Amino acid sequence: MNRQILLNEKDIPKQWYNIQADMPTPVPPPLNPATGQPITPDMLAPVFPMNLIEQEVSTERWINIPDEVLEKYLIWRPTPLYRAVFLEKFLGTPARIYFKNEGVSPPGSHKPNTAMAQAYYNKVFGIKRIATETGAGQWGSALAFACNQFGLECKVYMVRISYNQKPYRRLMMETWGGKCVPSPSPETNAGKKFLAQNPEHPGSLGIAISEAIEDAVTTKDSRYSLGSVLNHVLLHQTIIGLESHKQLGSIGEYPDIVIGCAGGGSNFAGVSLAFVRDKIHGKKIQIIAAEPASCPSITKGSYVYDFGDTAETTPLLAMYSLGHGFVPAPIHAGGLRYHGMAPIVSRLAADKLIEARAYTQLETFAAGIIFARTEGFIPAPETNHAIACVIEEAKKAKEEGKEKVILMNWSGHGIIDLSAYDAYLSGKLEDYVLPDDEIQKLLKDLEKFPRP
Amino acid sequence: MNRQILLNEKDIPKQWYNIQADMPTPVPPPLNPATGQPITPDMLAPVFPMNLIEQEVSTERWINIPDEVLEKYLIWRPTPLYRAVFLEKFLGTPARIYFKNEGVSPPGSHKPNTAMAQAYYNKVFGIKRIATETGAGQWGSALAFACNQFGLECKVYMVRISYNQKPYRRLMMETWGGKCVPSPSPETNAGKKFLAQNPEHPGSLGIAISEAIEDAVTTKDSRYSLGSVLNHVLLHQTIIGLESHKQLGSIGEYPDIVIGCAGGGSNFAGVSLAFVRDKIHGKKIQIIAAEPASCPSITKGSYVYDFGDTAETTPLLAMYSLGHGFVPAPIHAGGLRYHGMAPIVSRLAADKLIEARAYTQLETFAAGIIFARTEGFIPAPETNHAIACVIEEAKKAKEEGKEKVILMNWSGHGIIDLSAYDAYLSGKLEDYVLPDDEIQKLLKDLEKFPRP
């Protein structure tokens, strides 16, 4: 029948794959915006624990997953790989579609793959408390879950508009013992400044990042944690692709196409890097990042040195960007509303090892409804971007009469995002057009920095 | 490591287990309340399709699961059995605790095990449309999911107060193409009557049942569907215990204790009947139904003939009951707010093959928080009753220094019930005391009917 391709826990990968060992062009180093010079590890030491900073710059190919992390992964991993037999039948495609279900984790997404690892490394470095920011709440809830498992305190600055509109994610964090406050908050100087301007300030991810970093560097035994973009985050996510690789191998399959949605880049990298490795070694395989048409970092952005955050507090990262001042439209796929793209993913895109496509909000929800009504599981709005791409490729395979094998990362469920489906089904959902000239203007400011 | 005990899809049970073939005392037949005589299958024909009515009264031990249902079960089954290693460690118990994760289904509970089967049997009987009622929405969403899979229309009458307070379950139904209206509704005579009394009537499960049955018997090609209590519903749920039996067997384990929460009785029966069979054949095993102290049908009710619904529209069923006029307190475990108990479970309780224990709301949420903060997964409020019982037994095993094996049905996740956790964590949750004298009064009305 081959619907569920399971992996027994004894076969769980024991190492993460570090693509920095194999990239034809290395990732350009982060730069100090003041000097234009590469930053040094010690400059990051107040923000991240040194063991994670070391991982960030490591070029070791295989990095052992500590036993303590493996034990926690077994709470929900290995995750099942499903063949989407009902979707295939609906589309009448000769393609064989497989989706890796990362929605089975307690917080419902792929995010805990790195949250658990980061909590562990902070713990062994002697850190007692982690601060972070969250937009819609996927990352904050994953980190609260992980900190709870390792007995760390967790403080989450959640963008106020989401805090008010999406109480379920906050409640999830609190159920795991995390502390979640609306940002801007009166608990940091950055927050106070914005509250002074407007006591009902709706907040933004940029402000929340500033608050979390300030909190981490000014509170005893605290560090900051990021849920995407950085090299070590992508590293921890490679377990998704490594498991998929084994699972497909166990039934004699290998993908012609690997697809993931891309915001900051971590779930896309998670499913694809193990296959990019094969591609570097000569395997013919197509690897596609599906991004929102309203925030198309790779498809419409430029490969530049840009700030990782809106508030210009981070080092400069070499990435595809729409400019750090770009405020993406309020699409429901909150996790994809990021102006840039992970440096590793960006470098691979520049080297044509991966490609990107953009989908409109309405296209993605149409795809999500098809998925929910064939495969049953209701996908997260972010995941719907990958599904839209899968459906496009499956239709193409049908036209060409080709038995293509497609692997998709089903990055999370949409149970907490059902109001977005409601908006779609009742015709209230909008598409957003990206103002090209505005982006050119935002990117112009970056011309003073070196090119990657 | 033995955290995940998986079952490959080729090993999924191909038959349901019908305990009616093995019960030492047969289930007393349903009676016509007007005559006190057993009802005949044709009396139920306007309400249920004949193939399900036949299943309701069958005494065949093993009933083949149709291939079409098996294919749909593979959307999410076999479900994983987990060893609760983190909970064991927290409790410091020598007991080995296993939980069967039924929360992995698309609607997030065990309910689709029977919804899928019922949708199939209605479909092959030529039915085009199913009507049902739902309280908190677990059952309505499961049936909408199943009807969508078999191309049937689904109409759900949802108790108005839940319809307003719990929009996510309604949105889930609509995402799968189901139609959900608040009950009382203007679409039935029963509904109109209550709306005439009060246009903002909050509704009740009794009223919603009346509406759904009226809808089913008055609409072309329609039938009614029930999510618990009846024999055929329990039959379909036996796949939970059959899978668990195989999974435990695969690692050389056999339970000393099997635990499930019990409202109408279907998830408890689902996990336990395969083990009750062993017990009937001489195996030493303890089987415990965990029910709410505010609605303790078995622990405080009487074994009588009572109506299945508040509105007195059903035949009389032989069951443990608190009286069909009993309105359970508004606990968050909405799925356990039922005045009676499935006739099969009731008969087994009367024959001491199973036992029951009652837990207060605060005890169950305390247990749920312990579970969420050890095993990670956030349980449904209903499931917390089973967890409270598991923790009690694990502590007892510790005191006695015994290596007991405990199996629990983890009947569903609590992602949509997070506001209940919020109420608990902020100290707003109440316990309810059951008024004993009121129940004696309600049961007194039943003295005119025969005793089972």
Average pLDDT over residues B184-197: 95
Q: Any CB–CB contact under 8 A between A3 and chain B?
A: yes
B248-253 own/partner pairs: CB under 8 Å, 24+ apart:
B248/B5, B248/B81, B248/B98, B248/B405, B248/B407, B250/B5, B250/B7, B251/B2, B251/B5, B253/B96, B253/B98, B253/B405
Contacts of B149 in chain A (CB under 8 A): 86, 376
The predicted structure's pLDDT at residue A435: 79
Structural tokens at position A67:
């036993």
CATH-assigned architecture of domain B43-61+110-229: 3-Layer(aba) Sandwich (3.40)
HSE-up (13 A, CA, CB side) for residue A281: 8
A317-351: pLDDT as tens digits: 999 999 998 888 888 888 888 899 999 999 999 99
pTM, 2 dp = 0.97
pLDDT over 70, % of chain B: 100
**Is-contact B249 B316, C-beta < 8 A?**
no
| A55 secondary structure, DSSP code | H
Cα of A296 to nearest chain B Cα, Å? 27
Work out the widest C-alpha separation in chain B, in whole angstroms.
Answer: 62
Rounded Cα–Cα distance for residues A244 and A6 (Å): 10
**Is-contact B93 B397, C-beta < 8 A?**
yes
**Nearest residue of B to residue A112 by CA position?**
B376
Q: Which neighbouring-strand residues pair with B83?
A: B98
Which top CATH class is B66-108+232-448? Answer: alpha beta
Structural tokens at position A250:
């166990």
CB contact under 8 A, B373 and A74: no
Cα of B106 to nearest chain A Cα, Å? 5
**Nearest residue of A to residue B141 by CA position?**
A376
Contacts of A99 in chain B (CB under 8 A): none
Average pLDDT over residues A102-116: 98
Structural tokens at position B384:
């917390």
CB contact under 8 A, A75 and B376: yes
Closest to A111 measured CA to CA, from A146, A139, A137: A139
Contacts of A102 in chain B (CB under 8 A): none
| Residue reference for tokens 């081959």 | A2
CB contact under 8 A, A175 and B10: no
Query: In A383-399, which positions are buried (b, 16+ CB within 10 angstroms) versus exposed (e)?
Result: bbbbbbbbbbbbeebbe
What's the first-to-final CA gap in chain A, in angstroms?
49
CB contact under 8 A, B172 and A415: yes
Q: Any CB–CB contact under 8 A between B108 and chain A?
A: yes
Q: Which neighbouring-strand residues pair with A357?
A: A290
**Cα angle value B120/A97/A273 (rounded, 5°):** 140
Is residue B1 very low, low, confident or very high in pLDDT (cuts 50, 70, 90)? low
Sign of the C-alpha dihedral, residues B76, B79, B80, B86?
positive
Average pLDDT over residues A385-402: 98
Domains of chain B: which residue ranges? Answer: 43-61+110-229, 66-108+232-448
- To test the contact with chain B by mutation, choose from A7, A69, A72, A75 the residue with the greatest count of B C-beta atoms within 10 A, namely A75
**Nearest residue of B to residue A375 by CA position?**
B75
Cα of B374 to nearest chain A Cα, Å? 7
Is residue B448 very low, low, confident or very high in pLDDT (cuts 50, 70, 90)? very high
A412-426: pLDDT as tens digits: 999 999 999 999 999
Contacts of A8 in chain B (CB under 8 A): 4, 6
Question: What does the mean pLDDT of chain B come to?
Answer: 95
Q: Any CB–CB contact under 8 A between B377 and chain A?
A: yes
Quick one: B199 exposed, middle or buried, by C-beta within 10 A (0-12, 13-18, 19+)?
exposed
The predicted structure's pLDDT at residue B363: 97
The predicted structure's pLDDT at residue A332: 87
A185-237: pLDDT as tens digits: 999 999 999 999 999 888 888 889 989 999 999 999 999 999 999 999 999 99
Hey, is B440 helix, strand or coil? helix
Sign of the C-alpha dihedral, residues B229, B233, B234, B240?
negative
B183-192 own/partner pairs: CB under 8 Å, 24+ apart:
B183/B133, B183/B157, B183/B158, B183/B159, B183/B207, B183/B208, B183/B211, B184/B160, B184/B211, B185/B157, B185/B211, B187/B211, B187/B215, B188/B214, B188/B215, B189/B214, B190/B214, B190/B311, B191/B157
| A104 secondary structure, DSSP code | G
Quick one: A197 exposed, middle or buried, by C-beta within 10 A (0-12, 13-18, 19+)?
exposed
CB contact under 8 A, B425 and A175: yes
CB contact under 8 A, A108 and B3: no
The predicted structure's pLDDT at residue A135: 87
- To test the contact with chain B by mutation, choose from A3, A77, A105, A416 the residue with the greatest count of B C-beta atoms within 10 A, namely A3
Rounded Cα–Cα distance for residues A233 and A412 (Å): 17
In single-letter form, the type of residue at position A92 comes to G
The predicted structure's pLDDT at residue A1: 59
The predicted structure's pLDDT at residue B44: 94
Is residue B280 very low, low, confident or very high in pLDDT (cuts 50, 70, 90)? very high
CA B126 to chain centre: 27
**Nearest residue of B to residue A146 by CA position?**
B376
Hey, is A4 helix, strand or coil? strand
CB contact under 8 A, B373 and A177: yes
Quick one: B69 exposed, middle or buried, by C-beta within 10 A (0-12, 13-18, 19+)?
buried
The predicted structure's pLDDT at residue A335: 85
CB contact under 8 A, B419 and A171: yes
Average pLDDT over residues B345-373: 97
CB contact under 8 A, B3 and A9: yes
**Phi, psi at residue B154, to the nearest 5°?**
-135, 125
Partner residue facing A425 (CB), from B145, B174, B372 = B174
Are both A43-61+110-229 and A66-108+232-448 of the same fold?
yes
Q: Any CB–CB contact under 8 A between B373 and chain A?
A: yes
The predicted structure's pLDDT at residue A206: 83
CB contact under 8 A, A148 and B10: no
Structural tokens at position A408:
């998709």
B290-323: pLDDT as tens digits: 999 999 999 999 999 999 988 888 999 999 999 9
Which of the two residues, A161 and A392, has the higher pLDDT score?
A: A392
Average pLDDT over residues A64-84: 98
The predicted structure's pLDDT at residue A166: 84
Hey, is A289 helix, strand or coil? strand
**Nearest residue of B to residue A70 by CA position?**
B1
**Is-contact B347 B27, C-beta < 8 A?**
yes
CB contact under 8 A, B86 and A75: yes
B67-100: pLDDT as tens digits: 999 999 999 999 999 999 999 999 999 999 999 9
